[in-house]
């Protein structure tokens, strides 16, 4: 079975209510100093493949795609400039279950976003919501295809 395992609520007081089961939204995707993250059930290798597809489908060009010490996978990607900014950079870390400091069978996908402004300043942005939604949709499609 493949799908979203859990997402915590928004950190602000009186945040949005829990999302309906099986949904992903950035308002519910917790954030910390290490980016926004979501936890998915499914084989680690499958989550890596689906995450790569989700990044590409959101218009990013992959600049780096590699394993790190057998415990995680990193995808670095960017998106071309728009009239409002000079481009978006993302780093996606996919953490393998069972690595030190981790418990449970879930795979964590963590996304760090940086947007470059026309003035060459970099600001923290958030490109995680559409990517998390796409990962979830692809996992659901895969699961539905396996049930036939």
Cα(125)–Cα(22) distance, integer angstroms: 25
Whether this prediction's pTM lies above 0.85 is answered by: no
Residue recorded with tokens 């923290």: 124
Cα(42)–Cα(3) distance, integer angstroms: 7
pLDDT digits (tens, 9 = 90+) for 119-133: 666 566 678 889 999
3-state class of 139 per DSSP?
Answer: helix
Q: Which of 41-45, 76-80, 114-118 has the lowest mean pLDDT?
A: 114-118
pLDDT digits (tens, 9 = 90+) for 71-82: 899 999 999 877
pLDDT digits (tens, 9 = 90+) for 1-25: 344 433 332 222 222 333 333 333 3
Domains along the sequence of the chain with CATH: 29-146 (3.30.310)
Cα(94)–Cα(48) distance, integer angstroms: 7
């Amino acid at each position: 079975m493949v799908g979203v395992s859990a997402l915590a609520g928004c950190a602000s007081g009186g945040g949005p209510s829990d999302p309906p089961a099986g949904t992903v939204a950035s308002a519910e995707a917790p954030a910390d100093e290490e980016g926004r993250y979501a936890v998915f059930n499914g084989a680690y290798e499958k989550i890596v493949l689906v995450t790569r597809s989700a990044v590409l489908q959101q218009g990013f060009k992959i600049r780096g795609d590699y394993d790190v010490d057998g415990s995680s996978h990193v995808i670095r990607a960017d998106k071309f400039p728009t009239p409002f900014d000079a481009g978006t950079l993302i780093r996606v870390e996919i953490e393998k279950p069972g690595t030190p400091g981790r418990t449970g069978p879930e795979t964590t996908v963590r996304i760090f976003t940086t947007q470059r402004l026309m003035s060459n300043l970099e600001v923290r942005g958030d490109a995680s919501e559409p990517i998390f939604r796409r990962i979830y949709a692809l996992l659901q499609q895969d699961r539905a295809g396996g049930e036939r």
